Amino acid sequence: MRAMFDGGGFAAAKIDRHEMRSTGKNAGTAEKGENRISFGDLARFACPTKTAAWLAHITKSDVRTCERWLAGRNEPPAEALGAIMFEIMRRFHLRAE
């Protein structure tokens, strides 16, 4: 709860919480039936071997935290997705030369 000043006194305001969507069987599909690539699959595409260790090194976080991101149990930060996209684009440009 957050206290807000309403002119005559303080009033409590409700804080909206961000919920992570379900990681069940249908978590990887869109509402229209499209298939989506999961964070773990994208990370394994960028770094097929020792993915959790590589991601931990890039994002400066714990290996177990990265394993939870790869398994889909926790939402990864934008920094982790950016690191994966950077690696994929780097390899794409190296291949094109």
pLDDT in tens, the chain (97 residues): 555 555 665 555 555 555 555 555 555 445 555 688 889 999 998 888 999 999 999 889 999 999 999 998 999 999 889 989 998 898 888 776 6
pTM above 0.75, yes or no: no
Domain count, the chain: 1
**pLDDT of 63:** 94
Domain residues for 27? 2-96
Whether the CB-CB separation of 66 and 59 falls below 8 Å is answered with: yes
